Amino acid sequence: MSLFRRLEKARQAFARGDVQAATAAHALGQITHAAGEEHGGAGEQYIGDMVYGGLDGIITTFAVISGVAGAELGTHVVLILGLANLFADGLAMATGAYLSGKSEQEYYERELQRETWEVAHLPDAERAELYEIYRRQGYSDEEVRRLVEIKTRDPERWIKAMMVEELGMLENERKPPLSALATLVSFIVAGSVPLLVYLLGLITPVPSGVAFPVSIGLSAVALFGLGAAKVLVTRLNAFRSGLEMLVVGGLAAGVAYLVGAWLKGIGG
């Protein structure tokens, strides 16, 4: 059983209060097997980027459509603004995800180099720091001494202990380019849902007054679905998460619609 699957079973057992299932998820053989594997599958690391990228795509695109509908502009304006937002904002989000991930990795590497240098040149001071950290965590002097002795036997393990215990930093295994790609693709795919009925109008006539209500329905379903999909990351209640995102998206669209209607009045 993979580490991801074992953790999922443990979470489900906890949610049900099922001690027997939790015991099975923590069986020594499963723990040993899972520990020897990578931390989750390749796609599992980017679920958060995909979910949140998709949610932003739906909300921002539908907000644009609502603003145009409120201003009672034509279908061609919906398509122009909607598609422009879809690709420009999607690219901006992907760029932000890439730069954020890259900056986080660079900061980690810089601190890692510093800790490596300090362990090599100031070992006594680093031992003293580690000793004080464990003492503040409530360990007895004897326990602290043994912990420090164990951690400092191997330089690599020592450095990682300093990164976690002193700086509270864990290495992010996600690759920034893949994180950016997951964000971009999910933003464009999910963000195109509110535009589907307008794109259909390029092929076959859509009755007047039908496109916007259909777009509302498509957006609502997509918002609820992706909001519920957030549980892959948050592990919370799927229905509540979907409803929460539906309300947030609805409020954003409502504000955009009112602003569009107000500007239409100003413009006469």
15 close to 239: Cβ distance less than 8 angstroms? no
Question: Could you tell me which residues come within 8 angstroms of residue 60 by beta carbon, excluding any fewer than 6 positions away?
Answer: 85, 89, 191
Please tell me the predicted confidence (pLDDT) of residue 48. Answer: 78
Side-chain half-sphere CA neighbours of 217 within 13 A: 6
Q: Where are the domains of the chain?
A: 1-41, 44-60+74-252
| Residuewise pLDDT in 10s, the chain (268 residues) | 444 465 566 666 666 676 776 677 666 444 444 444 444 444 556 777 888 888 888 888 988 888 888 888 888 888 999 999 999 999 999 999 999 989 989 998 999 999 899 888 888 888 888 898 888 888 888 898 999 899 888 889 889 988 888 888 888 778 899 999 999 999 999 999 999 999 998 888 888 688 889 999 998 998 888 888 777 666 677 888 888 888 888 888 788 788 877 877 665 5
Please tell me the predicted confidence (pLDDT) of residue 171. Answer: 81
Side-chain half-sphere CA neighbours of 158 within 13 A: 23
Question: What is the rounded distance in angstroms from the CA atom of residue 158 to the CA atom of residue 148?
Answer: 9
Give the orientation angle of helix 211-229 with respect to helix 238-266, to 10 degrees. 140
* Both structure tokens of 81: 């603004």
- Would you give the distance in Å from CA 2 to the centre of its chain? 21
Question: Could you tell me which residues come within 8 angstroms of residue 158 by beta carbon, excluding any fewer than 6 positions away?
Answer: 119, 126, 130, 151, 152
pTM above 0.85, yes or no: no
Full DSSP string of the chain: --HHHHHHHHHHHHHHT-HHHHHHHT-HHHHHHHHTS-SS-TTGGGHHHHHHHHHHHHHHHHHHHHHHHHTT--HHHHHHHHHHHHHHHHHHHHHHHHHHHHHHHHHHHHHHHHHHHHHHH-HHHHHHHHHHHHHHTT--HHHHHHHHHHHTSSHHHHHHHHHHHTT------S-HHHHHHHHHHHHHHHHTGGGHHHHHTTTS---TTTHHHHHHHHHHHHHHHHHHHTHHHH---HHHHHHHHHHHHHHHHHHHHHHHHHHHHHT-
157 close to 130: Cβ distance less than 8 angstroms? no
30 close to 68: Cβ distance less than 8 angstroms? no
